[in-house]
Amino acid sequence: MNRILAVIPAYNEAEHIVQVIRAVLDHVPVLVVDDGSTDGTAALAASAGAEVLTQLPNQGKGAALRAGFRRALELGYDAVLTLDADGQHDPREIPKFLAAARGSADLIIGQRDFTRMPPVRRLANTLGQVLFSWALRQHVPDNQSGYRLLSRRLMETLLGNSETGFEFEVAMIATCVKKSFRLTWVPIRTIYAGESSHIDPVRHTLNFVRIAWATRRATRPSAMPPAAPVNGARWNNGAALNGRPSRR
């Protein structure tokens, strides 16, 4: 079995962090990347049994994830599981990711059911799905989910990425596809129980559109690698990723 580390980015998550860590520790060891929290999140995480990295000042979820990947690589882990600290990702679903990881995927994303989201989130995720699928020229059912498993080679590749905020997770999908790494999905529970959000809607939307536009340009036919299949890298529906894009 591969060695897997859970990386949990956390910013002012004192309310849920202990419960999340304890449940994750039933499956894999935990690294929390605390990002300048002022509510005692780091101390609570350490007391719950996690290793804690602290970033000061706050640098964003993407920067925190990359710091976690760097640490996991140093420690020799084969893969990381990322999940949110706010209780929206159920650690009891970790075995689904571990099972999917046996299939040698580089990126496994927990796919949520948008119909189970509050209306504003449902709308934002649906629009984001349409826009990013257009940009990547492939259907991407859920690009915002933070519940993921990443291979070592994908982590290594992402160390060169400079996105610091939530957009990092969107850019990660584009990187995976462009590299012809393997991407797959597992269905996960969609949990909204009044958690507070750190998303700034205007900044997030602008950054999302910027990434989508850059992705659209990067995947235009003339920018894609030659059409020869590479190690059978495939989209989860069986369409080859590394051939010419199917839609323009």
Residues 35-74 touching ligand GTP, rule: CB under 6 A, are 35, 58, 60-61, 64
Least CB distance to ligand GTP at residue 48 (A): 14
Q: Does 197 bind ligand GTP (CB under 6 A)?
A: yes
Least CB distance to Mg ion at residue 61 (A): 10
Q: Does 88 bind Mg ion (CB under 5 A)?
A: yes
Q: Does 163 bind ligand GTP (CB under 6 A)?
A: no
In sequence order, what are the residues at sequence separation of 6 or more whose Cβ sits closer than 8 angstroms to the Cβ of residue 248?
137, 221
Q: Does 142 bind Mg ion (CB under 5 A)?
A: no
In SS3 terms, the chain reads as: CCCEEEEEEECCCCCCHHHHHHHHHCCCCEEEEEECCCCCHHHHHHHCCCEEEEECCCCCHHHHHHHHHHHHHHCCCCEEEECCCCCCCCHHHHHHHHHHHCCCCCEEEEECCHHHCCHHHHHHHHHHHHHHHHHHCCCCCCCCCCCEEEEHHHHHHHCCCCCCCCHHHHHHHHHHHHCCCCEEEEECCCCCCCCCCCCCHHHHHHHHHHHHHHHHHHCCHHHCCCCCCCCCCECCCCCECCCCCCCC
Least CB distance to Mg ion at residue 38 (A): 18
Specify the residue, 49 or 118, whose C-beta has the smaller distance to Mg ion: 118
Least CB distance to ligand GTP at residue 98 (A): 21
Interface region with Mg ion, contact rule CB under 5 A, candidates 42-50, 82-90, 128-136, 175-183: 82-90
Q: Does 33 bind ligand GTP (CB under 6 A)?
A: yes
Q: Does 110 bind ligand GTP (CB under 6 A)?
A: no
Both tokens of residue 43? 């101390």
Number of chain residues interacting with ligand GTP (CB under 6 A) = 21
String of contacts with ligand GTP for each residue 226-245, x by CB under 6 A: --------------------
Contact residues for ligand GTP, defined by CB under 6 A: 9-11, 13, 33, 35, 58, 60-61, 64, 84-86, 88, 121, 144, 146, 195, 197-199
